[in-house]
Chains A and B, each alone.
Chain A
Amino acid sequence: DAGVIQSPRHEVTEMGQEVTLRCKPISGHDYLFWYRQTMMRGLELLIYFNNNVPIDDSGMPEDRFSAKMPNASFSTLKIQPSEPRDSAVYFCASSGPRNEQFFGPGTRLTVL
C-alpha cells in the first residue's frame, strides 16, 4: 500500500483565498483524522470520521474550516476564507480498528 497520500505538499496563498487540502487514506481503514501542527500549539486534532461520517469536529477552530469525506478513499479539508494564522502543517491520518494511526506526509500551508 502507498500509505496515506496528501496533496498538495506545499500551498502558498493569500489571505482571503479558499484553500482545499486533500487526503487519500489507506485502503481498508475506516477512520480518518485531520490534524494541524504549529510551533505554538503543537499537534491538534481538528476532526475525525468513521465510515465517512464525521464523529467529532470539536477541534475545528471556527466556521471558516470545513471537512468532508464523500467516500472511503477521499477526504478534503477546506478553509474559506484563509487567514495568516491558519499557516501550519496539516496532517491526515487513517486507522483501522486498533487505534494504530498512520500519518500522511502533511501539507505545509502558508497564508500571506
Chain B
Amino acid sequence: AQSVTQPDIHITVSEGASLELRCNYSYGATPYLFWYVQSPGQGLQLLLKYFSGDTLVQGIKGFEAEFKRSQSSFNLRKPSVHWSDAAEYFCAVGGSGVITGGGNKLTFGTGTQLKVEL
C-alpha cells in the first residue's frame, strides 16, 4: 500500500529565510510525486511534480523539490520565503495505473501548515 508522511504539522519561518518541508513516501514501484499548496478557502494548486529523469525538479513560485530514492523522500525547498507563501502544503504519491492497477489515485500526506513571520 502506498503512503505519505509529512512529519511536520506546523512550521514557522521568518520572511526571507530558507524553507524545507519534509515528505517521506512508501510505494512499491517508481513513484510519481507531487507537491500541492492550499491557501485558505482555496482548492489545491499543483506546485511541482516528479515523474522520472532529473531528481531535482523546479516548480512554480520559486519552489523546488528533490527526489531521493534511497531515502524515500521528496522534500520541498525554497531559498527565500515570502509572506505570501503562508499556506498549507501537501505531498502526494501515485503511479501509473497501468502498472500498479491503482488507476490514477493519489495518496496525500496530512499536510504541513506554513506560517511566515514578518
**Of B16-24, B64-72, B101-109, which stretch is located at the interface?**
B101-109
Residue of A nearest to B45 (CB): A103
CA–CA, A102 and B34, complex, Å = 12
Mask of B86-102 contacts with A, CB within 8 angstroms, 1/0: 00001000111100000
The interface stretch among A68-76, A79-87, A91-99 is A91-99
Interface of A is mostly: strand
B43 and A99 form a contact (CB under 8 A): no
Give bound CA distance, A102 to B103, whole Å. 16
Cα distance A105–B40 when bound, in Å?
A: 11
Residues of chain A at the chain B interface (Cβ within 8 Å): 4, 31, 33, 42-43, 45, 48, 50, 55-56, 91, 93, 95, 97-106
Identify the B interface with A (CB < 8 A). 32, 34, 36, 42-46, 49, 51, 90, 94-97, 103-106, 108, 110-111
Contacts A/B (CB < 8 Å), 28 sampled: A31-B103, A31-B104, A33-B105, A42-B111, A45-B105, A48-B104, A48-B105, A50-B97, A50-B103, A50-B104, A55-B103, A56-B103, A56-B105, A91-B44, A97-B104, A99-B34, A99-B95, A99-B96, A99-B104, A100-B46, A100-B49, A101-B34, A101-B46, A102-B46, A103-B36, A103-B43, A105-B43, A106-B42
